[in-house]
Structure 1
Amino acid sequence: MVPVSNFNRSWTSASGNGAASNPQVRARGAENLLRRLEWTVIRRLDGLLHGDYRTLFRGFGLDLADLREYQYHDDVRYIDWNVTARLRTPYVRVYNEDREVTAWFLLDLSPSVDFGAHVKKRSMATEFLAVLARVLTRHGNRVGALFYGNRVDTVIPARTGRRHALHILHRALSRAEGAGFGETDLRDFLQTAFGVMQRRSLVFVISDFISAPGWARPLAHLAQRHEVIAVRLYDPLEMELPDLGLLAMRDAETGQQLYVDTHDRAFRRRFAQLAERREKELRSAFGQAGVDALELSTGDDLVDAILRFADLRKRRSQLAAGGGLPAHLRGSHDVSMA
């Protein structure tokens, strides 16, 4: 038995070695995949959300239009505390949404995203990118992308239209799996992205967040300028190992191989404890950075995952409307829990 001393890794079966498709297949594959997602995912989302994606995309592209008194269910993030203090009554800022929104997809394509027991994290990432890029571009919004292998090697400027969404998807699918080894450093990725994205934007950071330490502060820095959503990819096997006997495993980031005895209960328990510790660290990092996190498992239905996240953001907004005011203002202005 070989103990796992550093859990910030993604270990794959040593016999697994994915081969990339040829360019012609990838070109057809991008169009076929987008068309399939338009029918099977986007149409379902349209029906279930009634075409209203504001719960997903709130908080960006806003211009101040007016001030008015706070009303029940208003989002407390828009309270103007200076005016409230002067008038001794809560006032909120009223915004008009810009017609055009710019969104960026920061896609981590480092070796660890090639892991997955049945569906790879890479596949979930590209499908999520395709769905959200198409939802945004069909309403005239602009989308761009940055791809990261072991460095930021692709920057696709923000444009609009289905053809551009298809171009981004094609570039993502064209990336070969397992292209070399090397430690992932999301800190460099996020710092580079901050320099690229000058205008306030909606930013999706799509990653398993298996990285060298130090990325939490750049994530928080990014969130100070932009509306940031962390799309955290994971496979259930990264949470808990089944009893499969002796396995040959390879570190997706370094290429190192080792054998693990999954029949050993103590090993499986230790693995689960390390996984839980990492979960707590991730939740803490996202919370301190002030970003919402969409947890996307390789076992998830994409529609269900997006709906759960939309519901989370809606409930947080409602709870904030009831609990975000200072106590002396809540007591005197009938602001109650939603």
Structure 2
Amino acid sequence: MLSYSQGVVLNARVRISLDELLLLQAEARGFSLLPRQPVNSLLAGRHASRLRGRGLAFEELRRYHEGDDIRTMDWKATARLRTPQVRVYTEERERPVLLIVDQRQSMFFGSQRAMKSVVAAEAAALGLWRALDGGDRVGGLVIEDDQIAKVRPHRSRQRAMQLLHEIVRANHQIVPDRKGRHSSIDGAHRLNEALKQTVQIAKHDHLIVLISDLDGADDETQRLTTRLAAHNDMIVVAVYDPLGASLQGTPGMMANDRGRLHQIPASASFTEEFRKAFQRNLDRWREIFRSLRVPVLPISTVKSVPDQVRSRLGHPTAAR
């Protein structure tokens, strides 16, 4: 994934501070990160859940998927429809929240307002404060080019602060060019490593929020996401920069592709080809997540993150 190199196009806030993430606590209200649920249910302690398994009230009948509890099989419906059918129930239960926050080198890009890495940190803080305010356990994984910091879910402000500190630390470690090191290349595979670790933590009944630009996503990413979504609720916050979606080349402009600098051709054909390639990749992942019933929330770097979240996921009767 191409990103403009520092010093060529950089009219954005480069770093996030702990104080800024703390101030977002006041903004973490009036929205739900899962649009299929009522606003007051998401990340709100003991709330109605669409998690797989046995519960208190019947909600829907659907086709059997690998991993479903055989005790939920509806044999009459299976015989009638001639395909395995299971009954899905709602239940009152606490839901641990896991925030997967991307702070790799590919996130060090922004044309206006803020870098993608800063926007990801802001989105993570909103989710964290929303979870903590509702009494849910919250933890997370912070993806860096050369390591993954992990904070296991816990219902305490101290643990939440630990996660925020890890996000800020990682954010300040990102550099635009790591010459002589291979971490920027290896970082493309770090996304899947974080998902593998998430599989070990979130066996079932978690809410997983992946906040990333999906750089390096591949077939293994799809396999791991499928495994996670089978027994957990999941949402993808796709961070993007409009300039990165429609690359405009001017004479002498340079781009950084995982440590390698390239000159951007100043031609209409290159711009159109880049835009089409970006759109094809976006459409592919949208379809993959749609098939898994995983909502995708696109977040732009050029607008206020709380405003974008509320405009897309807000509820007209929700308290601000």
TM-score, normalising length from structure 2? 0.75
- Residue 246 of structure 1, CA deviation: 2.9
Task: Supply the distance in 1 between the matched residues of 2:195 and 2:245 (Cα, whole angstroms).
Answer: 26
Partner SS, residue 142 of structure 2: strand
Partner SS, residue 241 of structure 1: coil
Q: Report what 2:151 is aligned to.
A: 156
State which of 189, 198, 201 in structure 2 corresponds to 1:196.
201
Which stretch of the first structure deviates more once superposed, 150-159 or 292-301? Answer: 150-159
CA gap of 1:19–1:280, structure 2 versus 1, over 3 A, is closer
- Equivalent residue letter for 2:222: A
CA gap of 1:237–1:97, structure 2 versus 1, over 3 A, is same
Q: Report what 2:214 is aligned to.
A: 209
Task: Supply the distance in 1 between the matched residues of 2:163 and 2:269 (Cα, whole angstroms).
Answer: 45
CA gap of 1:241–1:10, structure 2 versus 1, over 3 A, is closer
Contact 1:10 1:210 in 2 (8 A): no
Residues 214-258 of structure 1, C-alpha deviations (whole Å, 9 max, x = no match): 21111111111211111111110121123543302212x2x0011
Structure (1/2) with the larger helix percentage: 1
Task: Supply the distance in 1 between the matched residues of 2:13 and 2:240 (Cα, whole angstroms).
Answer: 21
Contact 1:206 1:230 in 2 (8 A): yes
- Equivalent residue letter for 2:77: A
Unaligned 5+ segments in structure 1 are 1-8, 68-73, 313-338
Q: Report what 2:28 is aligned to.
A: 42
- Residue 278 of structure 1, CA deviation: 1.2
CA gap of 1:172–1:112, structure 2 versus 1, over 3 A, is same
Q: Percent identity?
A: 20
Task: Supply the distance in 1 between the matched residues of 2:127 and 2:283 (Cα, whole angstroms).
Answer: 28
Residues 9-51 of structure 1, C-alpha deviations (whole Å, 9 max, x = no match): 1322253699998xxxx8xx31x22332123x225659xx9x9
Indicate yes or no: 2:169 matched with 1:174.
yes
CA gap of 1:12–1:34, structure 2 versus 1, over 3 A, is same
CA gap of 1:285–1:193, structure 2 versus 1, over 3 A, is same
Indicate yes or no: 2:131 matched with 1:139.
no
Q: Report what 1:246 is aligned to.
A: 252
- Residue 195 of structure 1, CA deviation: 1.5
Task: Supply the distance in 2 between the matched residues of 1:196 and 1:149 (Cα, whole angstroms).
Answer: 19
Task: Supply the distance in 1 between the matched residues of 2:88 and 2:222 (Cα, whole angstroms).
Answer: 30
Residues 47-71 of structure 1, C-alpha deviations (whole Å, 9 max, x = no match): xx9x94326785249861244xxxx
CA RMSD of aligned residues (A): 3.5
Unaligned 5+ segments in structure 2 are 65-71, 81-85, 316-320
State which of 277, 298, 303 in structure 2 corresponds to 1:300.
303
Deviant stretches of 4+, over 4 Å: 16-21, 43-46, 55-58, 74-81, 91-94
Q: Report what 2:261 is aligned to.
A: 257
Task: Supply the distance in 1 between the matched residues of 2:217 and 2:127 (Cα, whole angstroms).
Answer: 28
Contact 1:63 1:97 in 2 (8 A): no
Contact 2:50 2:89 in 1 (8 A): no
- The aligned length equals 282
State which of 227, 232, 240 in structure 1 corresponds to 2:238.
232
Partner SS, residue 107 of structure 1: strand
- Residue 128 of structure 1, CA deviation: 0.9
Partner SS, residue 174 of structure 2: coil
Greater Rg by CA: 1
Q: Report what 2:286 is aligned to.
A: 283
CA gap of 1:135–1:55, structure 2 versus 1, over 3 A, is closer
- Equivalent residue letter for 1:260: I
Task: Supply the distance in 2 between the matched residues of 1:160 and 1:169 (Cα, whole angstroms).
Answer: 14
